[in-house]
Structure 1
Amino acid sequence: MNSFTNLNSDAVLQFGPYALHLRQRLILNGDRPLRMGGRALDILQVLVQRAGTVVSKDELIALVWPTSVVEEINLRVHIAALRRALGDGQDAQRYIVNIPQRGYSFIAAVQRVPACSLASIETVQKPQHNLPARLTPVTGRDSIVGSLVRQLPVRRFMTLVGPGGIGKTTVALRVAELLLQHYQDGVWVDLAAIDDPAMVVDQLTRALELEVGTTLDTLKQRHALLVLDNCEHLHERCRTLVEDLLKSAPRLSILVTSREPLNALGESVLRLPPLAVPPASGLHSVAEAMGYSAVQLFVSRARARQQGFALREQDLKVVGEICRRLDGLPLAIELAAAQIDALALVGVQAQLDNCFQLLSHGRRTAVPRHQTLKAALDWSFEQLSPLEQTVLQRLAVFKMAFTLDAAVGVLGCAALLPDRVVEVVESLALKSLLSLEQGGGLSRYRFLNTTRAYALEKLEHSGELRAFEMRYARYISRTRWTSSGQVALQLVE
Structure 2
Amino acid sequence: MNSLSDLNSDAVLRFGPYVFHLQQRLILDGDRPLRMGGRALDILRVLVERAGNVVSKGELIARVWPTSVVEEINLRVHIAALRRALGDGRSGQRYIVNIPLRGYCFIAPVQRELDGALVSIETVQKHQHNLPVRLTPVTGRDSVVGSLVRQLPVRRFMTLVGPAGIGKTTVALRVAELLLQHYRDGVWVIDFAAIEEPAQVVDHLIHTLELDIGVDALAPRHALLVLDNCEHLLERCRTMVEALLVSAPRLSILATSREPLQALGETVQRLPALSVPPASSLHSVAEVMGYSAVQLFVSRVRARQQGFALREQDLKAVREICRRLDGLPLAIELAAAQIDALALVGLQAQLDNCFQLLTQGRRTAAPRHQTLKSALDWSYQRLSPLEQTVLQGLAVFKMAFTLDAAIGVISCEVLRPTRLVEVMERLARKSLLSVEQGNGMTRYRFLNTTRTYALEKLERSGLLRVFEMRYARYISRARWGSGGKVSLQIVEQLMDVG
Q: TM-score range by the shorter chain?
A: 0.7 to 0.9
Aligned: 1:182 with 2:179 = no
Structure 2 equivalent of residue 112 of structure 1: 109
Q: Distance in 2 between matches of 1:246 and 1:48?
A: 31
Structure 2 equivalent of residue 309 of structure 1: 308
1:73-472 to 2 correspondences below 5 Å: 105-106=85-86, 112=109, 128-184=128-184, 185-211=186-212, 214-472=213-471
Unaligned runs of 5+ in 1: 1-6, 22-26, 31-37, 51-59, 80-95
Aligned: 1:18 with 2:15 = no
Deviations 1:379-406 (A, max 9, x none): 0000111100000000000000011111
Q: CA RMSD in A?
A: 3.7
How far 1:491 sits from its partner (Å)? 3.3
SS in 1 for 2:435: strand
8 A Cα contact 2:62 2:138, kept in partner: no
Unaligned runs of 5+ in 2: 24-38, 52-59, 96-107, 482-486
Q: Distance in 2 between matches of 1:487 and 1:40?
A: 62
Q: Distance in 2 between matches of 1:199 and 1:28?
A: 46
Q: Distance in 1 between matches of 2:21 and 2:476?
A: 70
8 A Cα contact 1:280 1:321, kept in partner: no
TM superposition outliers: structure 1 runs of 4+ over 2 Å:
7-10, 16-21, 27-30, 38-50, 60-66, 102-111, 117-127, 489-493
8 A Cα contact 1:403 1:490, kept in partner: yes
What amino acid maps onto 1:252 in structure 2? Answer: L
Q: Distance in 2 between matches of 1:430 and 1:379?
A: 15
Q: Distance in 2 between matches of 1:356 and 1:314?
A: 27
How far 1:104 sits from its partner (Å)? 7.4
Deviations 1:151-209 (A, max 9, x none): 00110000000001000000000000001111012111011111111111122112212
8 A Cα contact 1:405 1:490, kept in partner: no
Q: Distance in 1 between matches of 2:214 and 2:425?
A: 38
8 A Cα contact 1:158 1:255, kept in partner: yes
SS in 1 for 2:452: helix
How far 1:123 sits from its partner (Å)? 7.9
SS in 2 for 1:221: coil
How far 1:277 sits from its partner (Å)? 0.2
Q: Distance in 1 between matches of 2:62 and 2:437?
A: 44
Q: Distance in 1 between matches of 2:21 and 2:359?
A: 44
Deviations 1:59-98 (A, max 9, x none): x8699679x83179x98xxx9xxxxxxxxxxxxxxxx9x9
Deviations 1:454-479 (A, max 9, x none): 00000000000011101101111101
Q: Distance in 1 between matches of 2:22 and 2:69?
A: 33
Q: Distance in 2 between matches of 1:157 and 1:48?
A: 28
How far 1:265 sits from its partner (Å)? 0.3
TM value normalised by structure 1: 0.81
Classify 1:244/1:435 alpha carbon distance in 2 versus 1 (closer, same or farther; 3 Å): same
How far 1:361 sits from its partner (Å)? 1.4
8 A Cα contact 2:301 2:308, kept in partner: yes
8 A Cα contact 1:130 1:207, kept in partner: no
8 A Cα contact 1:435 1:446, kept in partner: yes
Classify 1:387/1:17 alpha carbon distance in 2 versus 1 (closer, same or farther; 3 Å): closer
TM value normalised by structure 2: 0.80
What amino acid maps onto 2:199 in structure 1? Answer: A
How far 1:279 sits from its partner (Å)? 1.0
How far 1:42 sits from its partner (Å)? 4.4
What amino acid maps onto 1:165 in structure 2? Answer: G
8 A Cα contact 1:402 1:446, kept in partner: yes
Deviations 1:109-145 (A, max 9, x none): 9861599x97688888987111111111000000000
Classify 1:196/1:47 alpha carbon distance in 2 versus 1 (closer, same or farther; 3 Å): closer
